[in-house]
Structure 1
Amino acid sequence: MEITWLGHACFQLRGKQVTLVTDPFTPQQGSSLGKISASIVTISHDHPGHNNSAAIGGNPRVVRSPGEYEVSDVLITGIASYHDNKRGQERGRNTIYVIHMDGLVICHLGDLGHTLQEEQLEEVADADILLIPIGGQSTIHATQAAEVISQVEPRIVIPMHYNSALEESAGALNKFCREMGVEPPAPQPKFVVTPGTLPVETQIVLLTPRS
């Protein structure tokens, strides 16, 4: 599988036969999705930075709520969560997605606003790859992100929802790496992984946003 970060919470997961895009954003100044096609699009919540499914070509199946789905041999479980730590009173609901694809289990946390509750953790505990927000403000911050990682214990962690070009967000990345006890690894344009190449210990992978 080839994983590309398109920016914000948007990833392209390109498998052997299926391409899936998470949380396509509405283009803003300096950022654009470009021309992308997919078989499946997941939407974690109905905000402009996450719900631009119309921008994705290929007439994809759009998944936008909790539940169990099977699309083109890809199994997807949507798990109810919140966009804040007050049970959605401030920013509403958020859907976590667990995606079974090409022998890998990928968990996209969307704009998660709290650490995982027991029933959510049961659903995501098998995740090999965790796509996790670290920027704070409208999501969990670096310290909470490190706590979620210790809850899930994935093999690969890919931070999202921060902007390395902005000083404040770059600071969030540095703080996250300190919380994890590692030096920031060199960013790469894409990450290629198979079940056989998963590391034994949790590894942080930084991707350069394509947008």
Structure 2
Amino acid sequence: MEITWYGHSCFRITERNLASVVTDPYDHRAVGHEALKLKADIVTISHAAPGHNYLSGVKGEPFVISGPGEFEIGGVFITGVQTNGHTKKTQDEPRNTLYLIDYNGINVLHLGAINRVPTQTEVEALGPVHIVLVPVGGGSGLNAAKAAEIISLLEPNLVIPMHYATPQSTIKLEPLSKFLKEMGLTAVSTQPSLKVTSANALPEETQVIVLDPVGN
């Protein structure tokens, strides 16, 4: 399985003989990153915003998932869980859906624009999470401290930060360095993509992987 980051909250996840997934495709005019030129079998949308639901950036006729539910497409199992916008105290809170994407037993969790730390019960309901794609730069999503708190609850093998300030980004977000500090790291070397052969190949201790955005 290979995970590639295109900037903001947009990733492409591929595996031979299985459906490809693009998460949260953005309108480059809204976020500042390079215009998307992607193809996918499945597109997941965490919430309704130009930085997260720009379907015109994805070619083909992908199956679009934009809310809670359980789906199986092309050998990939996806579970959508609503996280924001369902409390009476904050009726105006924007809705967000996180997606647990199961590729041959490797579980990838895309948190979308989650803005609160889930309960222990909510975390346990997800089951094992091997790789988490987590917003760390504030704005509509988690800030660095809350991101670190969620990671300690999920106990994933790998963490890939997203939704933070980059040289290309035009949205006001916090830098990656804040999150790295929360995780007790000073610097992490970046890589173009993450390739995982099996769940058994993942590290036992949680590791942070920083990806370079494609085309930026």
TM-score, normalised on structure 2? 0.89
Distance change >3 Å, CA 9–CA 84, structure 1 → 2: farther
1:8 aligns with 2:8: yes
Q: CA deviation at 1:45?
A: 0.7
Q: Is the CA contact (8 Å cut-off) linking 2:36 and 2:58 kept in structure 1?
A: no
Hey, what does 2:176 align to over in structure 1?
A: 173
Structure 1 residue ranges without an equivalent (≥5): none
Which residue identity lines up with residue 187 of structure 2 in the other structure? P
Q: Is the CA contact (8 Å cut-off) linking 1:25 and 1:52 kept in structure 2?
A: yes
TM-score, normalised on structure 1? 0.91
> In structure 2, which of residues 200, 206, 210 is the aligned counterpart of residue 206 of structure 1?
210
CA distance in 2, matches of 1:33, 1:99: 25
Distance change >3 Å, CA 88–CA 32, structure 1 → 2: farther
Q: CA deviation at 1:93?
A: 1.0
Hey, what does 1:23 align to over in structure 2?
A: 24
Structure 2 residue ranges without an equivalent (≥5): none
CA distance in 2, matches of 1:182, 1:150: 15
Give SS of 1:28's match. helix
User: For residues 93-108 of structure 1, what are the structure 2 equivalents within 5 Å?
Assistant: 93-108=95-110
Which residue identity lines up with residue 156 of structure 1 in the other structure? L
Q: Is the CA contact (8 Å cut-off) linking 1:84 and 1:138 kept in structure 2?
A: no
1:133 aligns with 2:116: no
CA distance in 1, matches of 2:183, 2:34: 31
Hey, what does 2:187 align to over in structure 1?
A: 184
Q: CA deviation at 1:127?
A: 0.8
Hey, what does 1:151 align to over in structure 2?
A: 153
Hey, what does 1:32 align to over in structure 2?
A: 34
Q: CA deviation at 1:123?
A: 3.1
Q: Is the CA contact (8 Å cut-off) linking 1:128 and 1:155 kept in structure 2?
A: yes
Q: Which one is further off, 48-57 or 200-209?
A: 48-57
Q: CA deviation at 1:179?
A: 1.1
Which residue identity lines up with residue 23 of structure 2 in the other structure? T
Hey, what does 2:73 align to over in structure 1?
A: 71
Which residue identity lines up with residue 157 of structure 2 in the other structure? R
Q: How many residues get paired?
A: 210
The percentage of counterpart residues that share the same residue type is 41
* 1:111-138 deviation digits (Å, cap 9, x = unpaired): 0000012342123341100000000121
Q: CA deviation at 1:35?
A: 2.0
CA distance in 2, matches of 1:178, 1:5: 22
CA distance in 2, matches of 1:137, 1:86: 22
**Runs of 4 or more off by more than 4 Å in structure 1?**
83-88
CA distance in 2, matches of 1:185, 1:87: 39
Q: Is the CA contact (8 Å cut-off) linking 1:3 and 1:192 kept in structure 2?
A: yes
